[in-house]
Structure 1
Amino acid sequence: MKKWLTDMTWLNLVELSKLAHFSQVLRQVVSNDKVWYNWFLSDAPEEVTFPESYSTSLDTFKKLLLVRSFSPDRTLPMAKKYIGESLGFQYAEGYILSLEAMWQESDKRTPLVCFLSMGSDPTDNILSLSKKQNIPCGTISMGQGQEVHARRLLQQSQQEGRWILLQNCHLGLGFLEEMLDTVLQTEQVHDAFRCWLTTEPHPQFSINVLQSSIKYTFEPPQGVKAGLKRTFGGLTQEVVDASTFVEWKIMLYGVAFLHTTVQERRKFGPLGWNIPYEFNQSDFSATIQFIQNHMDEMGSKWNVSWPTVRYMIGEVHYGGRVTDDFDKRLLNTYTRVWFLDNMFTDKFDFAPNYKIPRCKTIQDFRTHVESMSLFDSPNVFGLHPNADITYQTNTADSILATIVNIQPKDAGAGGGETRESVVYRQCDDMLSKLPEDYIPHEVRAALQKQGTLQPLNIFLKQEVDRMQRVITVVRNTLKDLKLAIDGTIIMNENLKDALDNIFDARVPATWRKVSWDSATLGFWFSDLLDRNQQFFTWVFSGRPHVFWLTGFFNPQ
C-alpha cells in the first residue's frame, strides 16, 4: 500500500474492487501511483479528469463512489452534481421556504409547527406576513404559568379571525393537547384564524399535534448563495426604496453579506466561532433599521458616521450576542474591514469574486444572487481551505450514517444469510479474540513488585481498571446479543443498537460510552487489542522503554 493512502482509503478501495467496473482499481492505483496521487491532491477531484479513463467509462454515480473512497470531504459536492444530473439542479440547491405559500395551504383547523434549530427563529417572518396580510397576530412565549394567557388569546383569536403564535412549545408540553382540542372542536371559528407554533425537538412532544399539523423547519441555508437568497427573498421593494441614496442599497447588501458570513462560520465549529451563537433574522432586521434611521437623521447631507455604524453592528446588534473576547475581536474586524468609505467604490470586494452589485430593485439583487456559485471557498469567511475539509467530511459521514440507519433492518445479507446470522458469527469471532479478564490479586501482586506507590504504577492501575471495564462491557454485550438472537432473552434497546451497529461495522453506543471514538468497528476492536497488549505487557513483564501515548485513556 502506498504511503499517501490511509488505511480507511485502502479499505474503501478493497470494497470498491468487488464491483465489476472497479475490479482492477487496486492494481491500477499501485502501478500508476503518480497519476492517482496528483488527482487525489487536486482541490476538487470531481471537477478534473479521472485517472485510467474513468472520466469516460463511468457514469456520475460510479464517479461519486470513487470520489467518496479517496476524498470523503468532496462527497457532498459530487453528490450534488449527481442529484442535479439525475433529478434537476433545483434539487441540488437549498430550498427557500415560503411562509406565504404555506399559509395559503393551511386552514383554520390545522396548526403550523416550526421545529427550531440554532439561528432559525421564524417569529419576525411570521409577524411580517401577518402585517402584509393585514391580520393581527398575538404572541405568547410558553413556559410556567403561561397556559392561562395562551388559552385566553387562543379563544379570542378564533372568534376575531386573528393569528396566534405560541413560541417555545417544548416548555409547555402539557398545554398542547388542550390547544389541539380547542382548534379542532370549537364550533364557531373565523376562517382567517391560524395557529402557529415554534418548538425545539423534544421526545415527549405530542404525537397528535404532529399528525394534525403542517410541519416545517426554518434552518439557515447552507452556503453564501443560499443565505443571500433567503435574505433577499424575505425583503420587499419597499425596503430597497427606503432611501434614495445609492449608498443605502450598497450598505443593505453589505449587511446581508455579513449576516450570511456570521451564520456560515458556525458550521466550522470552533474554527468559526469559539462559542456557537444564535444569530438570526432579528439581528439583520435591527441592523438595517438602524442604518435606515441613521440615514434619515443625516438627511440630504449624507455622510455616514462609520465609528457609529461599526459600534452598533459589532457591539450591539450582532455583538450583543457575543460573549467570547476573541469572537468579539473577530466580529469587530469584519465591521472595520467591510464597513468603510471604500465599500462604495468599484474596487471593493468581500473576497475574490464577491463584489457588491449595483442594483436598483429587489429583483436585481435576486438575479445577482442566482448567478453566484453554489460552492464557497473558506477564504470567503477568512478561513484556511483546510477548515472546509473537516466540515465536509463530518457532514458526509453524518448523511451516510443516516442513510444506513434508515435502511430496512429485516433484509437478508449476501447469499441469503440474515442480519442476525451475520452478527452472530461476528460475535463468536470477537469473543474468541477478546482478552481474558484481569484478575485483581494477580495485578496487585505484579504492581507490588514494581512499586505500588510509584506515580506511573498508580497511573497504570487506573488504566487497567478502565480497560477491564471496557472488556467486561464488550463481553457481556456479545454474550447477551447471542442469547437474544437465539431467543433466550429479550432484545432490549441496547442490544438492538448493538445488533444494528455491528452489522453496519460501527461501534455500539454502549461501547463508545466507556471507551474511545473510532471510524469503524474493525479499527476500534484492533485498538482494544493493542491497548490491552500494552497494559498487559507493562503489568506482567515490567515497564516498557517506549510508551504508546494515544493508547492510554488519560495520557495527561
Structure 2
Amino acid sequence: MLVGAVLGEGFLTLLEQEMDFAAIVETEVKPGTPVLMCSVPGYDASGRVEDLAAEENKQIASIAIGSAEGFSQAEKAINSAVKTGRWVVLKNGHLAPGWLIQLEKKLHSLQPHATFRLFLTMEINPKVPVNLLRAGRIFVFEPPPGVKANMQRTFSTIPVARMCRAPSERARLYFLLAWFHAVVQERLRYAPLGWAKRYEFGESDLRSACDTIDTWLDEASKGRQNISPDKVPWAALKTLMSQSIYGGRIDNEFDQRLLNTFLERLFTPKSFDPDFPLVPAIDGASRILMPEGIRREEFVQWVEQLPDNQVPAWLGLPNNAEEVLLTTQGSVMLTKLLKMQVLEDEEDLASREQDPKQAEVPGAIGADGRPTWMRSLLSTAKNWLSLIPPSLQPLRRTVENIKDPLFRYFEREIRMGIQLLRDVRQDLTDVSLVCEGKRKQTNYLRSLTNELVKGMLPSSWVRYTMPANATVVQWVLDFSERIRQLQRISQAAATGGAKELKSLHVWLGGLFVSEAYITATQQFVAQANGWSLEELGLQVFVYMNNTPPCLDACSFGIKGLKLNGATCTNNKLSLSNTISTELPLTQLSWLRHADMKHAPGMVTLPVYLNSTRTDLVFTIELDILPREEPNQFYEHGVALLCAD
C-alpha cells in the first residue's frame, strides 16, 4: 500500500508489462555497448533476440560459448559483424567468465558499424566480470511470481494481432495455454511437492506451444471465422505438449502423469462452456470459472481482476503446501546457519591462535594448550563413538542359505555395514587421538578433521543415499539406527536361520539399497513357487494399528513408511491436509496377475527413498474412497516416503 501510494497504483504491475525491447536495442543501445541478458537457471533469453532479429529482418549469428571451438567461432563472428553491421548473440556466457574478461577489453578497441549489436545471454552468476557489467546494458529475466503476474506476462508477450486472428476461438485457446503455463511454472516453487524436481519450464516452451496452437488451428479452421469446439484438434495439442513441448523436459513417471492430468482437464471442448471450472472447489477454496467471451480484451480484463496472491488450491495443491514449503526452507536455512556458525567460530579461534594477545582471552586455549575447537571436536567424536554400535556380526553362509534371495541380499547389506562401521569408528578414534595429542596428523586426517569441524559430512563416509543438505550430526544418528537394524537382522539369522529373515518387519528406509530389497522379495516368491518374475504383481495392505499381521508365504512386512498428503483407513486412501502420516506397518504381497484384484478406483502412488523425492524405490496401487477423484491425488503430490 505504501509503495502504491507513493509511486502510483500501476508501479507494482510494471514488471508484468512487456518492455519495448526493439526500441531499446535500436535507439538506446550504442553499437559498442554489449547487451547482457541475465536470467535465472532454466530461462533462455536468446529466443527474444532471435525473434527480434526476424521481426527487424536483421542477419544474426548465434553461438554457444564455453569450449575452445565456441571461442574461436565467437571471435570470427564478432570480427566480421563489426564490419558488416550484423548482430551476434553469444549464449551461456556464465560458462566462460575468463574469456569474457578478454571480450570486455576487446570491445574498447572496436570501431563497429552503426547497426552492429552484441548480445550475451547468461545465468545470474557472481563470476561474470564486473567491468563487463558496467560497460553493458543489462536486462534481467525471470518467471514472474504468482499466477496473475505470469498470465499478465504471457498476454503482454503474445502480439495482439496474433491472438486476434481468425478463427475467433483462438484467443480462448491462448487463454487456456496462459493458465496452464502459469500453473506449471508456479508449481516449481513448491518442488519437490509441486514437481519432483525443478524442471526448466520457460518462455521457449510457451512460444512452441503458441506455434503448435496456430499450426493445428489454422489447419482445422480452413480460414473460417469460427470453429466448433468439437472440431478443435484437442488430441494433437495435448499429445504434442505432453510428449514434446513440456513433457520433453520431464523424466519422472509421476510428474508425467501430473502434466497429463492438467492437459486432460483444461484442453477439452467443455472449456467453451460458460461454467467450466479452471479450479474445482477443493480444500474449502471457491471454484474459479473460465471467463466468458472469446475476445482478448475480455480475458485480459479477467486476469487484471485476479488477486495478486493465489492459494495453493489454484495449482491443484493442498492449502498446506505453503506450510510445507516454508518448513522445508526453514530447515535448509537452519542447516546453513549452523554451518556458518561453525565456520565463524573456527575463523575466530584461528585468529586468536595467531595473535598472542587474543590468545590470552579466557577459553580460547585450554590449560593443556589445545584450542577450543579441538577440545570440542574431541568431545563430539567420543560422543559419536558411544552412540554408534561397536560391532556387527556377518551372516553365516551355508550351501543351502546361499540359494535364498533374501539371505543373499541381507548378506550384502551387512557386509557393507560392517565395512562402513569399521571405517567410521576408526576415523573417529584417530580424530580423538589427534585431538588428545597422541597421534600425528596425516593429510587424510587433516582433511577429515576440517570437514567435521565445519559440520560437513566427510566424503569418505558417503556410501549410501542421503539428502544433499544432511549434516554430519544427522548422518551419524541415521547411520546408528541403520546399524542397529542390521544387528537385529544378524541376530535373527543366527538364532532362527535364513528362514527367519522373511518374517522380519524391515525398516525399508534404513537399508543401504532399499530397491534391491523389493527385488529380493519378488525373487523369493518366484523361486519358492516356481513362477517367473513377469507373472508377479505387487499388492499392498496398510495396517494403521500396531497389531502385526500373520504373513503368508508370499507376503513381507515393512515399517516406517510415511504417507504425504493423504490418510489411509481400511486400506482406502482419502486426501488430507495432514502433512505426513506414519504407516505403522505395510504388507507387501507378490501375487500372480491373474489372482490380483483391481478395483476401478485405484491410484498408483510413488514410494520415494526420502523427502527430496529424487530416488523412486517402487510404486504401489491403493484403493480410494468413492468420493475422491483419482487425478487429485497426483495434483496434490501424494506420495510415500521410506525416510525423512
TM-score category of the 2 structures, normalised to the smaller one: 0.5 to 0.7
Q: How does 1:234-249 map to 2 (within 5 A)?
A: 234-243=157-166, 245=168, 247-249=169-171
The answer as to whether partners of 1:180 and 1:209 remain within 8 angstroms in 2 is yes
CA 1:96–1:144: 2 relative to 1, 3 Å: farther
Shift of 1:547: 7.3
Look up the match of 2:381.
431
CA 1:164–1:457: 2 relative to 1, 3 Å: closer
Look up the match of 1:75.
none
The answer as to whether partners of 1:139 and 1:164 remain within 8 angstroms in 2 is yes
In structure 2, give the amino acid aligned to 1:195. L
Look up the match of 2:583.
none
Q: How does 1:133-212 map to 2 (within 5 A)?
A: 137-142=60-65, 145-169=69-93, 176-186=100-110, 188-190=111-113, 193-199=116-122
Name the % identity.
21
Shift of 1:191: 5.7
* Distance in 1, Cα, partners of 2:188 & 2:122: 21
Q: 2:151 is paired with a residue of what secondary structure?
A: helix
Q: In the alignment, is residue 466 of structure 1 matched against residue 430 of structure 2?
A: no
Decide which of 302, 306, 314 is 2:226's aligned counterpart: 302
Shift of 1:112: 0.9
Look up the match of 1:259.
181
CA 1:524–1:229: 2 relative to 1, 3 Å: same
Q: In the alignment, is residue 218 of structure 1 matched against residue 141 of structure 2?
A: yes
CA 1:458–1:258: 2 relative to 1, 3 Å: closer
Shift of 1:425: 4.3
* Distance in 2, Cα, partners of 1:167 & 1:424: 48
- The more displaced of 351-360 and 220-229 is 351-360
* Distance in 1, Cα, partners of 2:177 & 2:103: 39
Q: 1:285 is paired with a residue of what secondary structure?
A: helix
Q: Deviations over 1:195-242 (max 9, x none)?
A: 222346899977876786566653434442342233234234334443
* Distance in 2, Cα, partners of 1:370 & 1:475: 65
CA 1:198–1:370: 2 relative to 1, 3 Å: same
CA 1:529–1:315: 2 relative to 1, 3 Å: closer
Q: In the alignment, is residue 451 of structure 1 matched against residue 399 of structure 2?
A: no
The answer as to whether partners of 1:115 and 1:199 remain within 8 angstroms in 2 is yes
* Distance in 2, Cα, partners of 1:542 & 1:329: 42
Look up the match of 2:612.
none
Look up the match of 2:274.
346
The answer as to whether partners of 2:166 and 2:224 remain within 8 angstroms in 1 is no
More strand by share: 2
The answer as to whether partners of 2:147 and 2:186 remain within 8 angstroms in 1 is yes
Decide which of 512, 524, 528 is 1:553's aligned counterpart: 512
Q: 1:232 is paired with a residue of what secondary structure?
A: helix
In structure 2, give the amino acid aligned to 1:372. L
* Distance in 1, Cα, partners of 2:317 & 2:388: 49
Look up the match of 1:6.
none
Decide which of 201, 222, 241 is 1:279's aligned counterpart: 201
Look up the match of 2:50.
127
Shift of 1:254: 0.9
Q: In the alignment, is residue 513 of structure 1 matched against residue 465 of structure 2?
A: no
The answer as to whether partners of 1:135 and 1:162 remain within 8 angstroms in 2 is yes
The answer as to whether partners of 1:94 and 1:222 remain within 8 angstroms in 2 is no
Q: TM-score, normalised by structure 2?
A: 0.55
The answer as to whether partners of 1:106 and 1:214 remain within 8 angstroms in 2 is yes
The answer as to whether partners of 2:375 and 2:435 remain within 8 angstroms in 1 is no
Look up the match of 1:230.
153
Shift of 1:154: 1.5
The answer as to whether partners of 1:295 and 1:304 remain within 8 angstroms in 2 is no
In structure 2, give the amino acid aligned to 1:463. G
Q: Deviations over 1:153-192 (max 9, x none)?
A: 3223334544321123467778545533432322x12465
The answer as to whether partners of 1:111 and 1:195 remain within 8 angstroms in 2 is yes
In structure 2, give the amino acid aligned to 1:167. K
Shift of 1:295: 4.7
CA 1:462–1:253: 2 relative to 1, 3 Å: same
The answer as to whether partners of 2:155 and 2:300 remain within 8 angstroms in 1 is yes
In structure 1, give the amino acid aligned to 2:424. V
Q: Deviations over 1:418-449 (max 9, x none)?
A: 7996644431221222328999xx979x65xx
The answer as to whether partners of 2:431 and 2:449 remain within 8 angstroms in 1 is yes
Q: In the alignment, is residue 409 of structure 1 matched against residue 344 of structure 2?
A: yes
- Alignment root-mean-square deviation, CA: 5.5
* Distance in 2, Cα, partners of 1:390 & 1:476: 41
The answer as to whether partners of 1:112 and 1:214 remain within 8 angstroms in 2 is yes
The answer as to whether partners of 1:173 and 1:205 remain within 8 angstroms in 2 is yes
Structure 2: runs of 5+ lacking an equivalent: 281-286, 350-360, 402-406, 497-503, 518-644
Q: 1:283 is paired with a residue of what secondary structure?
A: helix
Q: 1:249 is paired with a residue of what secondary structure?
A: helix
Look up the match of 1:314.
238
Shift of 1:463: 1.4
Q: Deviations over 1:269-301 (max 9, x none)?
A: 576567865433233223334434535854345
* Distance in 2, Cα, partners of 1:238 & 1:406: 54
CA 1:285–1:531: 2 relative to 1, 3 Å: closer
Q: Deviations over 1:67-102 (max 9, x none)?
A: xxxxxxxxxxxxxx9x99xxx999999965976578
In structure 2, give the amino acid aligned to 1:232. F
Shift of 1:347: 0.9
* Distance in 2, Cα, partners of 1:174 & 1:553: 42
Shift of 1:351: 0.4
Look up the match of 1:78.
none
Shift of 1:314: 2.0
In structure 2, give the amino acid aligned to 1:231. T
The answer as to whether partners of 2:81 and 2:87 remain within 8 angstroms in 1 is yes
Q: 2:206 is paired with a residue of what secondary structure?
A: helix
Decide which of 249, 255, 262 is 1:334's aligned counterpart: 262
More helix by share: 1
Q: Deviations over 1:485-536 (max 9, x none)?
A: x9999998875554343xxxxx535377246458665554444455556667
CA 1:317–1:181: 2 relative to 1, 3 Å: farther
Q: TM-score, normalised by structure 1?
A: 0.62
Q: Deviations over 1:338-367 (max 9, x none)?
A: 233432333112104433345898787556
The answer as to whether partners of 1:124 and 1:282 remain within 8 angstroms in 2 is yes
Q: Deviations over 1:382-441 (max 9, x none)?
A: 45556666544334444555667778936879x9977996644431221222328999xx
The answer as to whether partners of 1:237 and 1:361 remain within 8 angstroms in 2 is no
In structure 1, give the amino acid aligned to 2:90. L
The answer as to whether partners of 2:391 and 2:421 remain within 8 angstroms in 1 is no
The answer as to whether partners of 1:173 and 1:206 remain within 8 angstroms in 2 is yes
CA 1:161–1:401: 2 relative to 1, 3 Å: farther
Count of aligned positions: 457
CA 1:487–1:192: 2 relative to 1, 3 Å: farther
Look up the match of 2:626.
none
Decide which of 290, 298, 314 is 1:356's aligned counterpart: 290
The answer as to whether partners of 1:110 and 1:195 remain within 8 angstroms in 2 is yes
Look up the match of 1:33.
none
* Distance in 2, Cα, partners of 1:95 & 1:417: 54
Structure 1: runs of 5+ lacking an equivalent: 1-80, 502-506
CA 1:268–1:477: 2 relative to 1, 3 Å: farther
Q: 2:152 is paired with a residue of what secondary structure?
A: helix
Q: How does 1:34-45 map to 2 (within 5 A)?
A: none
